[in-house]
Every structure is written in structure tokens, then in C-alpha cells.
Amino acid sequence: MKKYLSFCIVLFFTNFTINAQDLPTNPDPGKCYVKCITKDSFKEVTETVEVSPEYSTIEVIPATYKIVEEKVLVKEASKKLVYVPAVYETVEVSYVSKEGRNDIEVIPASFGNDSKTFETYPKTSGWEYKVLEDCPSVNKEACVAACFVEYPAQFEDVQQITLAADASTNNIPVAQEMATYQKRVVKTPARIDEVEIPAEYATIKKRVVDTPAKTVTKTIPAKTQTVTRTVLDVKGGISSWEAVDCKLLSPTVLPIFYELGSARLTSASKKTIDETLLPLLKDSNVSIEIMSHTDSRGDDSFNLALSNERAKSVVNYLVSKGITRSRLIARGFGETKLTNKCSNGVECSEAEHQQNRRTEFRILGNN
């Protein structure tokens, strides 16, 4: 009996030709083979950035005064003549009524603005599978292309405040205040008998500096901000060929149902996943794609969003069962891939609409 070898080899490389050395050696009849693609893995790095510098403020405590008393001479002693008395004149005498001082003027700190750019997500590249449009096979999804794509890095600007000049002080001199008092002095002394005339004194008050002005410096601490970045941890790529069941390479419809207008899985659907997808994923290293579809009833954009959420529900359920998320891809197609004529405006039976409300899976490769 004639045996046929079936290889699901639809790899597309730009400027690269697949030759016999690229194919699996010693293939088994009736088996399909896929290239293993290891996806890039990433990790998060947290950094602390100074967004406002440390600076100082200065508070001035003014000088204080006290009042003191001083005894001063207001009339000199003299002698009185019996026949020719002495003659006096009045003069002005200056004195310091308030001592001078230095006031302190505070010049506040001045600031500037700056920014720093951080790479929040690195430039990445890797292999992705796509269906070839010009596939010679009747089953279009039997032709899968592995395309090498690149995604640019992502950046984020963080605003920063910089210290242009710290706080400082200037001394401002304040002049002393003067006052005068009058006193009488002898202009012409007595010429005959001299009679002693005692001096006269008075008490004056004046304000003098008790404690000089001073400053108190306070340090304002710097402010920081935490920035989290995603960086490439391990670079993925294409590894070796591995055999898979050929029927698993084509989309397989699963009897998975949801509550009306919801992405919540029913108990029956969870049981279906436990009996079909879970054993396949636990017994191998394959990656699978979950594809969810809706019928044409309702808003198109709502159906697309709903199908995406339903596919994610299956992925999240598998992750809760211990399957690595990197092995699972969720895709929602809404009503874009109907299996029959039941598009918008076409009257169909409930059974016909049910054919379009389906969830499919297919194997993409091994991890």
C-alpha cells in the first residue's frame, strides 16, 4: 500500500531559500511538522529618579534692643565772684541715641526646569505566523508563514526641577541715630571773690543692641519619583522541527458556550476545556491560538470586542490551570468570518446563527 508523507511546512523567510537541509530528517509517514518559535521574555526594572533637588531656606531673626540710663553733665562747676559774677553761654552737645546695626535680606533659591527621557519598552523583534494568500492548497489555513517582524522601542519623558541658585543673604547697614542736649559753660569767670558753683547732672535714656540679628537655615529634602520600565530578559527565536498531529494544525471547533452577551464561561464549557485543550497542553510544549467568533446580530464593534473577551476568558481559564500564558494567543474575529450566508440583514434560523457562534483552536508550534 502506498504511503504518503505530509509536512505542514509553510515557512516564509525574506531573502532566504528553504533547502533540503532545513527540513526534518527521518520524518514519520502521516505526520506534520512545525518549527518551534521561542518568544521573547521580558522583565520589569524599577528606577528612582530625582524630580526636585534638595535646597535650603533661610529665616531672619531681627536684632533686639534694650534701654539703658546714663548720667551726664549738664552744667559745669564754676566759681562765683562777689562783685563780677561769671557769665555763661549755652552750647549743644551731640550723643548717639540709637546705635547702628546690619539688617539681613534673604535672597530665595531659584530653580529651572529639565526633562529626562526613559525607555519604557525596548525595541523587539520575533517570528509571527500568518496565512499565505497565494497558498496552492484548497485548505488555506494549511499554509502558514513565519514572518520576522520588529516593533519600535517606547519612551517616556519625566519632568525634573533643577536648582539654579541656592538661597543666600545680603547685609543692609542701618545708620545710627543721633540726638543733642544743651549745657551751659562759663564764658567769663568771676573776677573778685570766687564762690564755688557745683556742677549739675541729668539722667538720659538710650536704646542699645541687646542681641544682634541672626539667621536660621532649614533644609528642604529632594523629591523622587519611581519609574518602571520593561526590558528584554531573554531573546526568542526559531529552534528545531517537531511532529504534531496534522488535524490539529487546522482550526478545530470546540463546543464552548457563554452566557448571553457575556464572556463568562459556563460550567459545561469549562468541562470541555478540561477534557480537550488542557490534556493537549500538559502533554506537550505546543502553543495554541484560541479564536472566538460571533453571529452577525447586534453591533459589529460590540461583537468584535465581545469575541476578544471570550477568547481571553479561555486563555485566562487555562492559565488558572497552570498553563504558561506565553503559550496561548487569544484572538476575536467578531462576525468577520461567518461560515454561512447569515450576514447583516439576512434572515436566518437560530440553528444557522449558532453555526457562527463558535470557538476554535489550532496549534501554532512548540515552545
Q: Strand ranges (DSSP E) for 32-176? A: 32-38, 41-52, 55-61, 64-75, 78-80, 87-98, 101-107, 110-121, 124-131, 144-151, 154-165, 168-174
What pTM does this model have?
0.38
Task: Tell me the pLDDT of the chain (367 aa) as tens digits.
Answer: 222 222 333 332 323 333 444 666 677 666 665 554 555 566 678 888 888 888 889 989 998 999 998 889 989 888 877 788 888 899 888 888 888 888 888 888 888 888 888 888 888 887 777 766 666 666 666 676 677 778 888 888 888 888 888 888 888 898 888 889 898 888 888 888 778 889 899 999 988 888 998 888 989 898 888 888 777 776 655 555 555 555 455 567 777 877 667 888 888 889 999 998 999 888 888 888 999 998 888 899 999 999 999 999 999 999 999 999 989 999 999 999 898 999 998 999 988 888 888 888 888 765 5
Residue range 58-101, pLDDT digits in tens:
989 998 999 998 889 989 888 877 788 888 899 888 888 888 88
What are phi and psi for residue 307, nearest 5 degrees? -65, -35
pLDDT of amino acid 96: 86
pLDDT of amino acid 131: 67
> How many CB atoms neighbour CB 313 within 10 A?
23
pLDDT of amino acid 140: 62
pLDDT of amino acid 160: 81
**Architecture of the domain whose range is 251-367:** 2-Layer Sandwich (3.30)
User: CA nearest 331: which of 131, 44, 139, 143?
Assistant: 131
Q: What is the DSSP letter of 139?
A: S
Q: Strand ranges (DSSP E) for 122-272? A: 124-131, 144-151, 154-165, 168-174, 177-188, 195-197, 200-211, 214-220, 223-234, 237-244, 252-254
pLDDT of amino acid 6: 28
What Å distances lie between residue 333 and 146, 234, 251, 359, CA to CA? 21, 31, 13, 10
Q: Where in the chain is the domain with CATH 3.30.1330.60?
A: 251-367
- Maximum separation of any 2 CA atoms in the chain, in Å: 172
- Separation between Cα atoms, residue 14 and residue 132, nearest integer Å: 14
Q: What is the DSSP letter of 40?
A: P
